[in-house]
């Protein structure tokens, strides 16, 4: 179980996170939704140990994770909003590099790499470097690196950025299979349809706070009350919560 | 280290210490190179040729990174310095022993640069918000230490100190570098490299 407890973060005088509480249950996929600038990536960076929190804590299996919790960090696979990869290496070379950093046994990682390259449809030769890959391929490299060490937890910030819909379907099936094997996943994404299909729980981060954390049936129930006549009540409900400002007119375009 | 060398070759970073050749042939000194390229030493994490977060999230210790990174640069610095010496020898006369002493002294300065550079890179200095002030402070510390070490080595050379004294000094520096990097477990201010 991953638990975020009262995390606060300010940059200069701006309070980005105002006491975020969130529990990600074991074997489940937790979605973290929010408009641009809601603080999702800041929260992901904090729980990944890349940024220090002003207050609050992050727990994995009831163990408080600090910036120094190396042993716990390797139980987690990460994908960041700005994907980490080495542009001057091929996917195969990069995955080998990552496997060595995780100290995976030499007799194990070559096969894992081959399987990951096949699964994500990435080039298995070393002719092209990651810098020449498309955005979607770079996201896939990042995802492959997050999975190589068989993590028990996945923290994924916009993992499907630029990924084609066929691959997204394949990856979502993989994530569902992983949860059946006991993996806990926290995911942020702006692709509503993907998240709706994939996740078990939906938390909405707004103005630096989690305003709800509901299961899909609970979300449907709430949405049906307020957006009964809409074609997709849940989507409309989320949209109304995420964007409460009036639509701009862009008068010069009309 | 193979991967770091590969990245440095592909990014053509290995060519950076090439500027040692004209400077060495013109002045017969190498200290200016260390002063010119000092940012390579005291900005290890910004200049690491890849995102250092990778070390953080994979639970890899910093000592592994510092070892590979320093040694890879050690290879390139030595490669170009030896080439400079060879070119110099062909165009000027000089004793072989003198050349060897100079190579040893060059490596002593190199390891001192690694030690000070690694220390500064992972020190509270990183938290200075004004970039210029941070660079000036690091540059002052690095430049002073390197210049002092260089002056001491020159005195030893002028006193015709035997080659084994230079070798012992080199081994001491390698030992200190090894000891210091082994103590380094994590990047203290990882948030500054986002």
Band of the pLDDT at A125, cuts 50, 70, 90?
Answer: confident
Q: Round the average pLDDT of chain B to a whole number and report it.
A: 87
Q: Do B54 and A71 touch (CB under 8 A)?
A: no
Range with the lowest mean pLDDT among A7-16, B40-49, B64-73?
B40-49
CA-based R_g, chain A, Å: 19
Residue of A nearest to B9 (CA): A88
pLDDT at A186 over 90: yes
Q: Which residues of chain B neighbour A68 with C-beta distances below 8 Å?
A: 186
Q: Find the helix packing angle between B131-158 and B96-121, rounded to 10°.
A: 150
Structural tokens at position A200: 């078990």
Tell me how far apart the alpha carbons of residues A203 and A39 are, in angstroms, rounded to a whole number.
13
Specify which of A25-34, A133-142, A223-232, B184-193 reaches the highest per-range mean pLDDT: A133-142
CA B82 to chain centre: 15
pLDDT tens-digit series, residues B36-53: 988 888 887 777 666 778
> What's the pTM?
0.87
In this prediction, residues A21-46 reach a mean pLDDT of: 89
pLDDT tens-digit series, residues B124-182: 887 888 888 988 999 999 999 999 999 999 999 889 889 999 999 999 999 999 999 99
Band of the pLDDT at B26, cuts 50, 70, 90?
Answer: confident
Q: Do B54 and A98 touch (CB under 8 A)?
A: yes
Q: Do B59 and A74 touch (CB under 8 A)?
A: yes
A124 neighbors A116 (Cβ within 8 angstroms) = no
Q: Which residues of chain A neighbour B60 with C-beta distances below 8 Å?
A: 101
Residue A106: the pLDDT is 92
Give the containing element (helix H, strand E) for A8.
strand A2-11
Q: How many residues does chain A have?
A: 254
Band of the pLDDT at B22, cuts 50, 70, 90?
Answer: confident
CA neighbours within 13 Å on the CB side: how many for A238? 24
Tell me how far apart the alpha carbons of residues B21 and A57 are, in angstroms, rounded to a whole number.
54
Tell me how far apart the alpha carbons of residues A221 and A211 are, in angstroms, rounded to a whole number.
16
Residue of B nearest to A81 (CA): B194
B16 neighbors B37 (Cβ within 8 angstroms) = yes
With an 8 Å Cβ cutoff, is A54 touching chain B? no
CB pairs under 8 A between A and B: 60
Q: Do A97 and B3 touch (CB under 8 A)?
A: yes
């Amino acid at each position: 179980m991953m638990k975020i407890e009262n995390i606060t973060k300010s940059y200069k005088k701006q309070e980005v996170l105002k006491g975020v509480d969130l529990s990600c249950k074991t074997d489940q996929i937790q979605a973290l939704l929010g408009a641009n600038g809601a603080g999702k990536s800041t929260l992901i960076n904090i729980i990944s140990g890349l940024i220090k929190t002003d207050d609050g804590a992050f727990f994995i299996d009831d163990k408080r994770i600090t910036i120094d919790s190396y042993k716990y960090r390797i139980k987690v696979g990460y994908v960041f909003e700005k994907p980490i990869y080495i542009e001057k290496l091929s996917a195969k070379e990069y995955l080998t590099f990552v496997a060595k950093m995780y100290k995976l046994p030499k007799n194990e990682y070559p096969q894992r790499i081959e399987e990951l390259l096949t699964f994500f449809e990435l080039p298995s030769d070393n002719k092209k470097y990651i810098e020449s890959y498309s955005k979607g391929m770079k996201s896939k490299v990042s995802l492959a690196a997050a999975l190589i060490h068989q993590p028990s937890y996945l923290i994924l910030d916009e993992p499907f950025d630029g990924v084609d819909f066929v691959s997204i379907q394949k990856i979502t099936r993989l994530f569902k299979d992983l949860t059946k094997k006991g993996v806990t996943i926290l995911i942020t994404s702006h692709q509503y349809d993907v998240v709706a299909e994939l996740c078990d729980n939906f938390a909405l981060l707004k103005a630096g706070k989690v305003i709800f954390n509901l299961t899909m049936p609970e979300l449907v129930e709430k949405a049906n009350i307020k957006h009964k006549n809409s074609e997709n009540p849940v989507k409309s409900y989320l949209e109304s919560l995420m964007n409460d400002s009036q639509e701009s007119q862009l008068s010069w375009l009309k | 280290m193979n991967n770091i060398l590969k990245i440095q070759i592909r990014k053509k970073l290995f060519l950076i210490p090439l500027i040692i050749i004209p400077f060495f042939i013109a002045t017969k000194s190498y200290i200016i190179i260390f002063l010119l390229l000092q940012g390579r030493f005291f900005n290890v994490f910004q200049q690491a040729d890849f995102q250092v977060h990778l070390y953080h999230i994979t639970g890899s210790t910093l000592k592994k990174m510092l070892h590979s990174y320093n040694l890879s640069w050690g290879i390139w610095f030595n490669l170009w310095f030896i080439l400079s010496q060879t070119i110099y020898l062909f165009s000027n006369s000089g004793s072989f022993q003198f050349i060897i002493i100079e190579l040893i002294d060059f490596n002593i300065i190199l390891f001192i640069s690694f030690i000070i550079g690694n220390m500064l890179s992972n020190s509270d200095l990183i938290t200075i918000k004004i970039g210029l002030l941070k660079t000036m402070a690091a540059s002052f510390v690095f430049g002073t230490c390197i210049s002092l070490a260089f002056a001491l080595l020159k005195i030893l050379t002028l006193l015709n100190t035997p080659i084994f004294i230079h070798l012992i000094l080199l081994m001491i520096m390698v030992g200190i570098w090894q000891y210091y990097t082994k103590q380094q477990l994590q990047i203290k201010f990882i948030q500054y490299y986002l």
